Amino acid sequence: MDQSVAAVVAEREPDYVPPHPYRHETMPSVIELMGLARKNFLSIWSKGNFSSRLMSQQVLRRLLVVCNSPDVVQEAFQTNHAVLQRKSPQMRHALEPLIGDGLFISDSDIWRRRRKVVAPIIHGSRVPGFAPIMVDTIEEKRAEWAARGAGGEVDALAEMAHLTAEIICRTIFGRNLGRNYASEIVEGFSDYQRYIDQVDLPAMLGLPEWLPRFRRPAVHRSVKRILGVLDEIIDSYQAMKDSGEVSVIGGLLEARDEDGAPLSREAIRNEAAVIFMAGHETTANTLAWAWFLLSQAPRVRERLHAELDSVLGDAPPSFADVARLPYTKAVIEETLRLYPPVPILAREAMADTTVGGKRIPKGTILMVVPWLLHRNPTLWPDADAFRPERFLEGEGTRPSKYGYVPFSIGPRICAGLQFGLTESILSLAILARAFDLRLKPGADIQPVCRLTLRPGDALPMTLHPRTA
């Protein structure tokens, strides 16, 4: 940091430090840890864990290893990808009924083939084509909020979930079909999440993969409902193909794999479900946390408003404006650092290997925990403080790309990274240009980790129209 920047930093008011669960002085027992993990995976960590490089713990029959510095993250997710690419049994068993052999939980040859077909359909180079759908949908939300009047109450978490579900549905299925089916798909997915188990005890006990897992009938009912809707959409898409709609489902139907073969209907259904699931709640949580953080940090809010007013004026933004909004982007990046929507990245070792000089026997669960890595005090000064400036060129220093991994890293990096970032920046730009969101007095917001990291079950806020 140069001297003039250091002087500005020293002068300004202290940065806001947002809430995090209690950190233990010493590591709780394994039994206590399992109980804590069931309720909230973020509450198991003790102070020393945040600055550790590599940690390990035997839990029942499984060895758990946590990589928490850029060098070991790189070794695990990049160098050792071949042996450490398999998702954890917990993740695979939780999602398999819904997404089958979908990209998100497959590995080895199936993953490699699918990644080649699916990633280009949502790749960054396609994002400019999807941006008009994003902007129109966000503008609809802005109009809906405007109609509520000053002081209107909203649950910002539900609002952002609705917005991102609409965007991803219209992107996957085309504007018209997406609009018709969005609410049904969203309900089906929320039911599914409610009924699946979070902790896979049979896997922790080292029981074999083929052992049938008990699943509540409600899980099968919600899967049947979602798959039924997806089938209907695929049929209607084929009927209206000539209408010239741009969509992910069109891309999947027309894609050919490396042998020139089309994807089967089941594969198309699975990959459409993957993209919805991977792209909806992650972006919604990012935006919800951004609203919360902004509501508590007047200095950041003012700097954001200044950028939006000067760059956008009164015109709605387009894709080209995204590159002209560095502070808005920094707010999103800092939000993703403090509250990474996917706070745990877990893998199962497919063979014996080593990481950071430690022996990793086959079957070990190896984790990169963005929640810890992003608050590692050896990588981030004032790691718990909300300070978007750390992501601005000339004002902060980013650690290596292996020290900041909200989208994961290595060959399994999020295939929708540019999509998710652009969607978040455009949503914040359009909505924060028009409204200030204030936290409802008395609301106590705490981070809770279920499948993703959320601000509890609701984020009660009030809407206040802005005039520049």
Stretch that binds ligand HEM, among 66-74, 198-206, 275-283, 316-324 (CB under 6 A): 275-283
Q: Binding residue for ligand HEM (CB under 6 A) from 70, 178, 388, 416?
A: 416
Long-range CB contacts (< 8 A, 24+ apart) of 148-153? 148/463, 150/463, 150/464, 150/465, 151/462, 151/463, 151/464, 152/462, 152/463, 153/440, 153/460, 153/461, 153/462, 153/463
Angle between helices 265-296 and 326-338 (to 10 degrees): 100
Stretch that binds ligand HEM, among 280-288, 314-322, 391-399, 456-464 (CB under 6 A): 280-288
Q: Is 342 in the site for ligand HEM (CB under 6 A)?
A: yes
Instruction: In angstroms, give the least distance from the CB of 198 to ligand HEM.
Output: 15
Instruction: In angstroms, give the least distance from the CB of 421 to ligand HEM.
Output: 7
Instruction: In angstroms, give the least distance from the CB of 368 to ligand HEM.
Output: 8
Stretch 74-113 residues interacting with ligand HEM (CB under 6 A): 103-104
Q: Is 278 in the site for ligand HEM (CB under 6 A)?
A: yes
Number of chain residues interacting with ligand HEM (CB under 6 A): 24
Any idea how long the chain is? Answer: 468
423, 128 in Cβ contact below 8 A?
A: no
Q: Binding residue for ligand HEM (CB under 6 A) from 64, 72, 84, 122?
A: 122
CA distance 97 to 461: 36
Query: Within 10 A of 304 (CB to CB), how many other CB atoms are there?
Result: 23
Query: Within 10 A of 446 (CB to CB), how many other CB atoms are there?
Result: 14
Nearer to ligand HEM, 170 or 433 (CB): 170
Stretch that binds ligand HEM, among 42-50, 62-70, 273-281, 385-393 (CB under 6 A): 273-281
CA distance 165 to 279: 8
CA distance 87 to 44: 21
Nearer to ligand HEM, 371 or 386 (CB): 371
192, 273 in Cβ contact below 8 A?
A: no
Q: Is 425 in the site for ligand HEM (CB under 6 A)?
A: no
Nearer to ligand HEM, 275 or 300 (CB): 275
CA distance 247 to 129: 10
Task: Please indicate if the annotation marks 449 as binding a ligand.
Answer: no
Instruction: In angstroms, give the least distance from the CB of 26 to ligand HEM.
Output: 29
357, 56 in Cβ contact below 8 A?
A: no
Taking CB atoms, the residue at the shortest distance from ligand HEM is 416
Residue 36's H or E segment, with its range, is helix 30-39
Q: Is 328 in the site for ligand HEM (CB under 6 A)?
A: no
Q: Binding residue for ligand HEM (CB under 6 A) from 46, 198, 408, 446?
A: 408
- The contact pattern for ligand HEM, residues 368-407, with x = CB under 6 A and - = no contact, is --------------------------------------xx
Nearer to ligand HEM, 425 or 463 (CB): 425
Instruction: In angstroms, give the least distance from the CB of 127 to ligand HEM.
Output: 9
Dihedral Cα 116, 418, 340, 142, nearest 10 deg: -130
Backbone angles phi, psi at 155, to 5 degrees: -95, 105
Q: Is 424 in the site for ligand HEM (CB under 6 A)?
A: yes
Q: Is 213 in the site for ligand HEM (CB under 6 A)?
A: no
Q: Is 433 in the site for ligand HEM (CB under 6 A)?
A: no
Instruction: In angstroms, give the least distance from the CB of 168 to ligand HEM.
Output: 6
Task: Classify 76 as helix, strand or coil.
Answer: helix
CA distance 307 to 166: 27
Instruction: Map tokens 């794999």 to a residue.
Output: 257
Strands 54-59 and 358-360, bridge-based pairing: unpaired
Instruction: In angstroms, give the least distance from the CB of 96 to ligand HEM.
Output: 14
Q: Is 117 in the site for ligand HEM (CB under 6 A)?
A: no
Q: Which residues are near ligand HEM by CB under 6 A? A: 103-104, 115, 122, 274-275, 278-279, 282-283, 286, 341-342, 345, 406-408, 412, 414-416, 419-420, 424
